[in-house]
Each structure stands twice: as C-alpha cells, then as structure tokens.
Amino acid sequence: MYLKINVPPVFKQMFAASGPLIVTLGSGMTVGFSAVLLPQLKDDRSTIKISSHQESWIASMAALPMAVGSVLGGVAMDRLGRKTTNLLICVPFVLGWTAVSMATGVNGVYVGRLLTGLCTGLLGPPTAVYIAEVMEQRYRGAALAMISFSVSAGILAVHAMGTFLGWRLVSALCSTVPFAGYALIWFTPESPAWLREDEDRRRRRKTAAAIGDNASESVPPRPPLDVDTQPPLPAAKPTARQCFGRPSFLGPLAVLSTFFFVQQFSGVNAVAFYSVTLLKRVGPDLNEYHCTMALDVIRLAVSVLACGLTKRYGRRPLAVVSAVGTCASLLCLAASIRDPSAQATGSVAVQAIPAPAATASMTPVLSIVAYMVFVNIGLVPLPWIMSGEMFPGYCRELGSGLSTCFGFVMFYAVIQISPYLLTNIGTSMTFYIFGIVSGVGALFLYLCLPETKNKSMEDTT
C-alpha cells in the first residue's frame, strides 16, 4: 500500500518559480556589492589599490552589459526554452562571483563584475516570462512581485555580509546562490507555453518536409491529410520585423518603455545612494552601516507588502498611487534640503544637505522613508512584473527582452547623470526634477497603462 499525498497546485507552481527567484537573489547582490567592495578596496590595508577612475569603472561595470544581456536573454528563451536559458545563466553567474573572489588585481574584479552584470541582464526576461507562464492567474501577480522581493533580499544580504566579512569571502558566498538556483531549476518543468510553441514549430517543419517530398517527381504524392482527424496547423510566429508592424506589439512596448523611464528617473537609484549621506547629516551620530541596513530592511519589508498588494489590487491603480506618493515624498525631500554653498564649492558632498543643527528637522528622514515605501510598492516591481504579462504570446520573448533592455539603459543613464545633476544644479533641484517626472508619470500611467491582472497568458491577439 502506498500513501498518496495530494500537493496543492499552488505549491507545485511556487516550487517551479523558486529556482529563478533564488538566482534573482544574485541580481540584488550584484547591485548592492559595490557598497561592500569599494570601501574595502580604498582601505589602506587592501591588497588591491584602486584610483578614483578605477573606482567609477568598478561601480558602473556591472551596469554596462545589463541591457545587452536582457536582449540576449529574450532571444535565448525563445530558441532554447525558459528552463534551459535559466540553467545556462547560472554557469557564468557562478564564474563571475568566483572571478571577483579570486582576483589578484583590478582587471580580475572588472571581469567578475562584467560577468555578474551580464547575467543580471540575461536573467530578467526569462525569469519574468517563466513565472508568468507557470503560475495561475490569481497567484501570478504575487509571484512576479517576488522578483522585486528577491532583489531587495539580495541587497540586504550582501550589505549584511559586508558589514562583518571581507569582500573576497562575501563574493565567494554570493557564488553559492546561482549554484543553489541551478540545482532547483534542474528539477522543475519547462514552461507549458514554450512546450506548445516548440511542438508547433516541429509540426510546421514536418509539414514543410512533407510538402517538399510531394513536390519531388521521384516520390509519389502522399494522400491528403484527413481534416477531420488532424488538428489545424498553427500559424508560424511572426518575425521581429513583422512584430514591429503590429499595433498589438508596438503599443505595449511604448507604454512599458515609458513606465521603465518613469521608474528610473523617479530617482530610485540616486535617492537610495545619497540617502545614507542625508541621514548622517541629519543625525551625525548615526552609524553609516546601520543606516544602510535600516533602509535595506524597509525596502525588503515593502517588497513583501507589494506581493500582497499585487495579488489584491490591479496593476494600474497600484502604479498610479505609487507614482503620486513618490512625487509627493520627493517634493517634500527637495523642499527640506538647502544648497546655500552649491555654487561656491561645486561639491556633491557639501550640496547633499546643510550642516546639521541641534534641532535638525525630521522632514528629510520621514521623506526618505515615505519615498522608500511608495516607490517600492509600485514603480519598482510593476514594470518587471508587466514585462512578462503585457505582450501577446507571438511576441512575448521579443517584447520582454526589448522593454527590459530599455529599463537597464535607463538604469545606467541615471547612474551616470545623477552625479552631474547633483554637482551642477544641486541636490534640491535634482530631487525636484525626479519628483516632477514621477508626477507626470502618474498622469501617463493613469491614462495609458492597461490592466493585466488576471489576464490570460493564452491571449495571443
């Protein structure tokens, strides 16, 4: 006699999604690793000495290949399948972290950062599409929101390790994450949607071969297929050029690309970077590492909240509320900051905030906390979620790859532009610009963003 255990389908689906989500932890670690690596490399006891120029390259090296990686990830998951693509990404991810941990010079660090950044880009499209295709409609939003949660958890984990451990050991520990993800993905099934597409391709090839045989004079013609017993031959997927001629592809691509622009130019990376400086200026006795950890915990907690909100509420109202709240908190933050010596010094550090007084206002602190809450409940997770939902089946891989590619380009642009804005126009005016972008983005999202909650993934119109 055998004991039969009935496992609810949602647990099976979450197990299938767990592998890519574990690997996504490595993406968060890649983003947060600079805060661990650079201060330790600049320490006098470091065995690898870096200049300020090399420091900027190490910081941006991971962001450089992300956009290219997202396009390659979209192409790979169409050709090889979602599961196989995720498995292959884990290999260079492990090698990248290993290269950093074993680096004897700055070039080794460059190579490792380049590989981990490339894998972060590669991972975006197949993770979002795979989770969207294996989850039921009622659980899909929460599962996709866990991508943002995994990134936040990765940032928190790498910052926590960096507080107590050296950068070599931290990178070695980070290499175990994609290795564990590989083991989980190995035991999960391929996406049913891709299996159907692959079977359709095989049928088309067989039919084309049969037509070719019948056209040959040396082979007797085959009897026609019985239309009553044979399923209809599926239409071939359109090429990339044909997709660009279809409004059902161009519309979602334009809307989602604009959404990514609003996400990045709401200052999500700039505010996160300079928030530690702001908090230390308001409270000089605050510990820098403790401030960073506190912000990471807030980000992670809000990511958990976002999982529940995306399950209960639609994408469109959540995006609008997030953008409006982000706009309000940024404007409050900008209004609470003064740049009296910005023109005199041209220094970002001096511009960041005026010298603290004994009765320092709590407005910047509350504004930063409010910003972290509002931006992470919608603007941060939703574009990544909707990259797996908005596009029809015939162009899902291409659309997801191109939209996430644009998102990574904007990510890199913000990293490069923010220091110049902070230096030349001041911190307050920079945050005013970010707030205005968020406000205009809220109006755009209200008018143009379609609702994809509970949308069938079989919709290929």
Cβ distance 117 to 89 under 8 Å? no
Q: What's residue 175's pLDDT?
A: 93
Q: pLDDT tens string for the chain (461 positions)?
A: 444 567 677 788 888 888 899 999 998 898 888 878 888 888 888 888 888 777 778 877 787 788 888 888 888 888 888 889 999 999 999 999 999 999 888 889 899 999 999 999 898 888 888 888 888 877 787 788 888 888 888 988 988 888 888 889 999 999 999 999 999 999 988 888 778 877 777 777 777 776 665 554 554 554 554 444 455 555 566 777 777 777 878 888 899 999 999 998 998 877 666 655 556 555 555 566 677 778 888 888 888 888 888 878 888 899 999 999 999 999 998 888 765 444 444 444 434 444 444 334 677 778 888 888 999 888 988 888 888 778 877 777 788 888 888 888 888 888 778 777 877 887 788 889 999 999 999 999 999 888 877 676 555 44
Cβ distance 438 to 266 under 8 Å? yes
Q: What is the pTM of this model?
A: 0.75
Q: What's residue 75's pLDDT?
A: 84
* HSE (side-chain half, CA atoms, 13 Å) at 379: 34
Burial label for 215, CB within 10 Å (0-12, 13-18, 19+), is exposed
Q: What's residue 341's pLDDT?
A: 44
The position carrying tokens 């959540």 is: 318
Both tokens assigned to 277: 């400086």
Q: What's residue 446's pLDDT?
A: 92
Q: What's residue 444's pLDDT?
A: 93
Q: What's residue 438's pLDDT?
A: 93
Distance of CA 78 to the CA centre of its chain: 19
Q: Which long-range contacts (CB under 8 A, 24 or more apart) does 191-197 make?
A: 191/81, 191/82, 191/83, 191/129, 191/130, 191/133, 191/134, 192/133, 192/134, 193/133, 193/393, 193/457, 193/458, 194/77, 194/81, 194/82, 194/133, 195/81, 197/237, 197/393
Q: What's residue 454's pLDDT?
A: 67
- Sorted by sequence, the CB contacts under 8 Å of residue 26 that are 6+ apart come out as 93, 97, 116, 119, 120, 123, 154, 174, 177, 178, 181
Residue 16's nearest CA partner among 78, 86, 71, 74 is 86
Q: What's residue 416's pLDDT?
A: 77
Cβ-count burial 329-357 (b if 16+ within 10 Å, e if not):
bbbbbbebbebeebeeeeebebbbbeeee
Tell me, what DSSP letter sits at residue 237?
Answer: P
> For residue 140, how many other CB atoms are within 10 A of its CB?
26
